[in-house]
Amino acid sequence: MNEIQAPIYEALMKHQSGDPVSFHVPGHRYGDAIRQWIASKQPGQSGYYPLSSVMEIDVTELSSTDDLHHPEACIAEAERLAAHCFGADHTYLLVGGSTSGNVAMMLTLCQPGDLIIVQRNVHKSIINGLKLAGASAVFLAPQYDAHSGLATVPSLQQLEQALQRYPKAKGVMFSTPNYYGMNTPLQPYVELTHHYDKPFIVDEAHGAHYSMHPALPTSAIYAGADAVVQSTHKTLLAMTMGAMLHVQGSRIDLADVREQLSMVQSSSPSFPIMASLDISRAIIDREKERLFHKALLLAEQFRSWLEERQLIIQDINGRTLLRNNELQYDPLRMVLFDISGQLSGVHLHKELERDGCWPEMSDVRYVVLVVNVSVTEEDMKRLKQSLLRIHQTVAASYESKPSVVIPALEPSQGDGIGAPVAFHRGAYEQAKTIQVPLREAAGRLSAENVIPYPPGIPLLYRGEPITEEAIQQISRLASVGAKFQGASDAKMQSIAVIHE
Amino acid sequence: MNEIQAPIYEALMKHQSGDPVSFHVPGHRYGDAIRQWIASKQPGQSGYYPLSSVMEIDVTELSSTDDLHHPEACIAEAERLAAHCFGADHTYLLVGGSTSGNVAMMLTLCQPGDLIIVQRNVHKSIINGLKLAGASAVFLAPQYDAHSGLATVPSLQQLEQALQRYPKAKGVMFSTPNYYGMNTPLQPYVELTHHYDKPFIVDEAHGAHYSMHPALPTSAIYAGADAVVQSTHKTLLAMTMGAMLHVQGSRIDLADVREQLSMVQSSSPSFPIMASLDISRAIIDREKERLFHKALLLAEQFRSWLEERQLIIQDINGRTLLRNNELQYDPLRMVLFDISGQLSGVHLHKELERDGCWPEMSDVRYVVLVVNVSVTEEDMKRLKQSLLRIHQTVAASYESKPSVVIPALEPSQGDGIGAPVAFHRGAYEQAKTIQVPLREAAGRLSAENVIPYPPGIPLLYRGEPITEEAIQQISRLASVGAKFQGASDAKMQSIAVIHE
């Protein structure tokens, strides 16, 4: 096997090989403290081994390492290699997840009071970024895929109208692909936005692997976006919280990005996470397309099997179910559902877990499975066995009448371009709020963000008028087990509204 | 050895023991992808082992784990156990370091335009928190320890004057102990602040181990502070970025803290970091004072040795050098300096590194060494050997005339209570800035934060008038190798000022 070139990891191993005596933080001293106080066991056994092992390279800013907030040595080199690998002009390694990249981009683009055009169904970290920036957002309603009912991105026409209507907008922010691996080719959006001389930013958290193989969709970087945030940990090989922010062109101020990132990331960033980003990139550089061959093949074989067996569980990205030229589907993401409408996605999720197959997330209808590069034939066999069991034993015992209510996601009224919503902190904090039953909340202004999780897309923003449609969506999601992070009533039978 | 009770770690190991098949993020699939693409080696050898090992427990929010932003299972239990261990009413586990706790507390206390009383020499994360909150700060100048010249906390009299002058202040924020392990007993400050019915918040990043042994200083929690942020990774046993926010009493809104933390921390928080916090707490619960016996003993023996040998290197926390009833010294932090004034702290730092002894940080005069719980006799022997070498070979070859210029840190003029400084974002972003030679910058308004790192305490805030004293301090620190993160001129021969 060829060696890989991973400068951060190599710097950490080199430091370790010098038999250093630690009189610095962290206090575990390369894991010695854990090994001393907890009996270590061998890998594969339960014990405390996984942590004491990683701690060997869990160091701080030393003259032998580097400083993420002011990189000059191995981190600077790792960022240069990452930019080359992902097709960007400059790449920032992130230790605070895509969250930190999204927040930093909002802070970079927007001063208080500035306005930005934002896809409505963005990840909550972008809304948090708007709040911290004190910006206002013009939201563009997403399009809904007619076949699946899932939200994608706004239309090109909508974006053009918004760009015309708001010439002072500081840029455009999209979140795509969605959690279900549905992607809209972005090049026309980028070109349109650049025609108005504004930056086009993409939260591509679920697409870190895009453009890495001809069978995978095109990444936003190759579509020309000015800045792209990717969760390297989600679909590539980094540790959780390891992400990257890629920048290209001249519309983004690199020094400003670095400054904003230092506002929202730890001043003691994790070297193991940085090293895992570095190694993830290094493996791609060495393996290239080959890294994805097996997973793509196994996913394709699985889909064929699913269709040939005519199970009641199918994949919306199945081979015959859907071909839509407007959308790209991530072949490494399976979106399973019960075509008879008897099993909810949440229920199907639980049934898969019973057999030791752990999906990524589920909603009223769908369960999402991520197929990652180290997937094996045995893994797919266990998934097939589980689906056969569910098909044969669970589904057979259900009523023949569909029991799953699928939210009817209507296209937005009018042109889908909202009035600007001010996201400065404190906008409603001083207002008096009252708790009312959800079913009686129509027409009120919500005093809380209502965010079913996953996928973490807000149904209501604080200060937003509550519609009947929103009430129905919330009720349905709550009834099938979605979690509402930070809700005043975790069961969402009531809601906090602004008392006027 | 008794078992430890660590619910997060146990949940992760239990999940792993169920032989799960991962169809979820992260994409490394419990480290399989790393093991598959990179040859694993055994611990102790160089190789890729440390990362693939920790990845076994690097999972996401599953029904078998929990959700940091809405904890209901193992994380909720781990936080309850941590609160009990550290003497708080409620504890939040942090994966974004003390940075995330400090920023979240500023966001919790301050709406835009609100005013807060802040110790001037706070960590930059608190200033970032003020900016993100849009708050204004009244800065209190620190006191300077006459013996060491090091900044500690403002005086009690100063705080009282500020509380009287600014009755609308939302609270008081201190950063203590300082990087050198110097701590001022906080109880009188807390009682005074509570007399004005305001919350007293402490960034106790360097004091996570306080109050854990009778020989250690009292923690801010036991001094009665309403909220205390601690870097568990610095002096206890957590992985880097693992920290805790402790809250007690009724002045802090717990739900608001959770909401602000979700603004500034990843929506995919790292389970290994959370598990390391949990295990760190569990080891303390089991070992109690015993955990610190050996390190305290070895540190004391080292100080005796240092004095008996009459080396030119001594410890400001030495046994005979300094006894000051107003200050407490962390016995597990050694602050070494050349009593003859020939070796700068930065130079001494480099000499120690030459012998494989890696200090925490250094400045013009001092080098700081952290003595952590797993320190060994052999480690201390190597440190002694290094100091003997430095004493005998390096120091002997120097001129007898002191060559280290120690910054003369004068007490602040007047009462040390600054006028409110507005930290809303964009305050000076629109202003025109010019670059001028540092030596000609007196009287100008700085257009940048000037932060020597370590210790990361700003000498100038953006928008602040530049004094001759500040110019001299900056020049001296730059000349001995301090780093100025994000400075317009890394060498600090020039500075960006606001063009008026």
User: Are the beta carbons of B369 and A111 separated by less than 8 Å?
Assistant: no
Query: For residue B407, what pLDDT is reported?
Result: 47
The residue of chain B with its CA nearest to that of A54 is B50
Least confident of A93-107, A239-253, B57-71: B57-71
Q: How many CB atoms lie within 10 A of CB B354?
A: 11
CB contact under 8 A, B259 and A486: yes
Instruction: Please give, one letter per residue, the 3-state secondary structure of chain B.
Output: CCCCCCHHHHHHHHHHHCCCEEECCCCCCCCHHHHHHCCCCCCCCCCCHHHHHHHHHCCCCCCCCCCCCCCCCHHHHHHHHHHHHHCCCEEEEECCHHHHHHHHHHHHHCCCCCEEEEECCCCHHHHHHHHHHCCEEEEECCCECCCCCCECCCCHHHHHHHHHHCCCCCCEEEECCCCCCEECCCHHHHHHHHHCCCCEEEECHHHCCCCCCCCCCCCCCCCCCCEEEECHHHHCCCCCCCEEEEECCCCCCHHHHHHHHHHHCCCCCCHHHHHHHHHHHHHHHHHCCHHHHHHHHHHHHHHHHHHHCCCCEEECCCCCCCCCCCCEECCCEEEEEECCCCCCHHHHHHHHHHCCEEECEECCCCEEEECCCCCCHHHHHHHHHHHHHHHHHHHHHCCCCCCCCCCCCCCCCCCCECCCEECCCCCCCCCCEEEEEHHHCCCCEECCCECEECCCCCCECCCCECCHHHHHHHHHHHHCCCEECCCCCCCCCEEEEECC
List, in order, residues 6 or more apart from B31 with CB less than 8 Å away.
Answer: B51, B52, B53, B54, B55, B56, B58
Interface test with B, best of A68, A350, A374 (most B CBs within 10 A): A374
Cβ separation B128–A255 shorter than 8 A:
no
Angle between helices A254-264 and A97-109 (to 10 degrees): 130
Which residues on B lie below 8 Å from A276 (Cβ)?
28, 51
Distance from CA of B289 to the nearest CA of A (A): 13
State mean pLDDT over B142-149.
Answer: 82
Instruction: Provide mean pLDDT across the span B440-465.
Output: 78
Report the distance separating Cα B66 and Cα B9, nearest Å: 12
Please tell me which of A50-54, A306-310, A489-493, B252-256 the model is most confident about, judged by mean pLDDT.
B252-256
Query: From the list B267, B271, B352, which residue is nearest A97 (CB)?
Result: B267
Q: Does the distance separating the beta carbons of B371 and A23 come in below 8 Å?
A: yes
**Best A239, A277, A387, A484 residue to mutate vs chain B (most B CBs within 10 Å):** A239
What is the token pair recorded at A275? Answer: 């090293």
**pLDDT of amino acid A478:** 85
- Tell if the CB–CB gap between B358 and A21 is shorter than 8 Å: yes
The mean of the pLDDT values for chain B is 88
Residue A289's pLDDT band, with cuts at 50, 70 and 90, is very high
pLDDT over threshold 60, residue B414? no
Number of Cβ pairs < 8 A linking chain A and chain B: 379
- Give the pLDDT band (50/70/90) at residue B400: low
Residues of B in contact with A56 (CB under 8 A): 43, 50
Mean pLDDT of the region A225-243: 98
Q: Would you say residue A43 has pLDDT above 70?
A: no
Residues from chain A that touch B62, judged by Cβ atoms under 8 A, are 358
Residue B325 has pLDDT above 70, yes or no: no
Task: Strands of A322-403 (E only): list them.
Answer: 328-329, 333-338, 357-359, 361-362, 367-370
Contact B233 A28 (CB under 8 A): yes
Which stretch of DSSP H or E encloses residue A157?
Answer: helix A156-165
- Chain-centroid distance of CA A460 in Å reads 19
Average pLDDT, stretch A111-132? 93
Q: Are A182 and A327 in contact (CB under 8 A)?
A: yes
> Which one of A67, A133, A272 has the shortest CB-CB distance to B54?
A272
| Crossing angle of the two packed helices A7-17 and A74-86, in degrees rounded to 10 | 150
What are the chain A neighbours of B456 within 8 Å (beta carbons)? 267
**Which backbone phi and psi does A103 adopt, to 5 degrees?**
-60, -45
Q: What is the pLDDT of residue B417?
A: 76
Residues of chain A contacting B366 with CB distance shorter than 8 Å: none
Considering A203-212, B356-365, B491-500, the range whose residues carry the highest mean pLDDT is A203-212
Q: Which residues of A touch B336 (CB under 8 A)?
A: none
Nearest to B406 by CA among B340, B351, B493: B340
Reply yes or no on whether the pLDDT at A250 is more than 90: yes
Judge whether residue A298 has pLDDT over 60. yes
In tens, the pLDDT along A137-178 reads 988 888 888 778 788 999 999 999 999 999 999 999 999 999
Contacts of B429 in chain A (CB under 8 A): 111
Q: Please name which of B237, B226, B230, B219 lies closest in space to residue B100, comparing C-alpha atoms.
A: B230
| 3 state SS of A201 | strand
Judge contact between B223 and B186, C-beta under 8 A.
yes
B238 contact residues in A (CB cutoff 8 A): 26-28
Residues of chain A found within 8 Å of residue B51, distances taken between Cβ atoms: 9, 54, 57, 239, 272, 275-276, 279
So what's the pLDDT on residue A99? 98
When pLDDT is averaged across residues A406-427 and rounded to a whole number, the result is 62
If DSSP codes are grouped into helix, strand and coil, which group holds residue A412?
coil
Contacts of residue A32 in chain B, CB cutoff 8 Å? 374
Look at residue A395 in the predicted model and tell me its pLDDT.
Answer: 67
Rounded Cα distance, B62 and A61, in Å: 33
Q: Is the pLDDT of residue B373 over 70?
A: yes
Report the SS3 class of residue A493: coil
CA nearest to A16 within chain B: B46
Q: Sign of the C-alpha dihedral, residues A387, A392, A395, A401?
A: positive
A72-95 mean pLDDT: 98
How distant is the alpha carbon of residue A461 from its chain centre? 19
Neighbouring-strand partners of residue B484:
B452
Residues of chain B contacting A19 with CB distance shorter than 8 Å: 356
Q: Do B53 and A60 touch (CB under 8 A)?
A: no
Chain A interface, mutation test: which of B8, B268, B280, B451, most A Cβ atoms within 10 Å? B268
User: What residues of chain A lie within 8 A of the CB of B69, using their CB?
Assistant: 485-486
Q: Token digits for B150? A: 């090091």
Contact between chains at B28 and A233 (C-beta distance less than 8 A): yes
Q: A42 to chain B: which residues are within 8 Å by CB? A: none
Q: How confident is the model at residue B281 (pLDDT cuts 50, 70, 90)?
A: very high
Count of residues making up chain B: 500
Residue of chain B whose alpha carbon sits nearest to that of A255: B486
Whether B170 shows a pLDDT value over 80: the answer reads yes
Nearest CA to B243 out of B282, B278, B220, B277 is that of B277
* A251-271 average pLDDT score: 96
The alpha-carbon gap from B461 to the nearest alpha carbon of chain A, in Å, equals: 14
**Shortest CA distance from B428: residue in chain A:** A111
Phi, psi angle pair for A317, to nearest 5°: -95, 35
Q: State whether B357 and A21 contact (CB < 8 Å).
A: yes
Instruction: Search chain B and give the residue with CA nearest A272.
Output: B51
Q: Residue B469 has what pLDDT?
A: 74
CA distances from B127 to A351, B247, B456 (A): 49, 21, 11
| Minimum distance, in Å, between the CA of residue A225 and any CA atom of chain B | 23
**B184-242: per-residue pLDDT in tens?**
999 999 999 999 999 999 999 999 999 999 999 999 999 999 999 999 999 999 999 99
Question: What pLDDT is recorded for position A409?
Answer: 46
**Of B206, B253, B226, B225, whose CA–CA distance to B97 is shortest?**
B206
Q: What is the mean pLDDT of residues A358-381?
A: 94
Please compute the mean of the pLDDT values over residues B315-324 and round it to a whole number. Answer: 61
Lowest-confidence range among A156-170, B20-34, B306-320?
B306-320
Cα–Cα distance for residue pair B476/B470, rounded to 1 Å = 10
| Subunit contact B266:A20, Cβ cutoff 8 A | no
ipTM of the complex: 0.91
pLDDT higher than 60, residue A413: no
Give the phi and the psi of residue A354 in degrees, each rounded to 5: -55, -35
Closest CB to A373: pick one of B27, B103, B283: B27
Smallest CA–CA distance, residue A351 to chain B, in Å, is 12
| 3-state class (DSSP) for residue A468 | helix
pLDDT, average across residues A400-425: 60
Q: From the candidates B213, B261, B266, which should be mutated to test the interface with A, based on the most A CB atoms within 10 A?
A: B266
How many angstroms separate the CA of residue A157 from the nearest CA in chain B? 32
How many CB atoms sit inside 10 A of residue B90's CB? 17
State residue A339's pLDDT score: 86
Asked if A426 and B272 come within 8 Å (Cβ–Cβ), the reply is: no
**Angle formed by the axes of helices A156-165 and A187-195, to 10°?**
20
DSSP A89: S
Contact at 8 Å (CB) between A497 and A448? no
Q: Which of A198-229 are b and which e, b meaning 16 or more Cβ less than 10 Å from the residue's Cβ? A: bbbbbbbbbbbbbbbbeebbebbbbbbbbbbb
pLDDT digits (tens, 9 = 90+) for B92-102: 999 999 999 99
Strand partners of residue A417: A140
CB A240 within 8 A of CB B26: yes
Closest Cα to residue B238, out of B289, B205, B288, B275? B275
Contact residues, chain B, for A352 at CB < 8 Å? 23
A25·B426 Cβ contact <8 A: no
Provide the shortest C-alpha distance from residue A121 to chain B (in Å): 16
Q: How confident is the model at residue B456 (pLDDT cuts 50, 70, 90)?
A: low
Which tokens is A244 given?
A: 């990257």
pLDDT at B44 over 60: no
pTM as predicted? 0.91
Q: Is the peptide bond before A199 cis (omega within 30 degrees of 0)?
A: no
Number of residues written out for chain A: 500
CA atoms within 13 A of residue A443's CA, in its CB half-sphere: 2
Task: Give how far A132 is from chain B: nearest CA, Å.
Answer: 5
Share of chain A above pLDDT 90, in %: 65
Q: Does residue B455 have a cis peptide bond before it, meaning omega lies within 30 degrees of 0?
A: yes
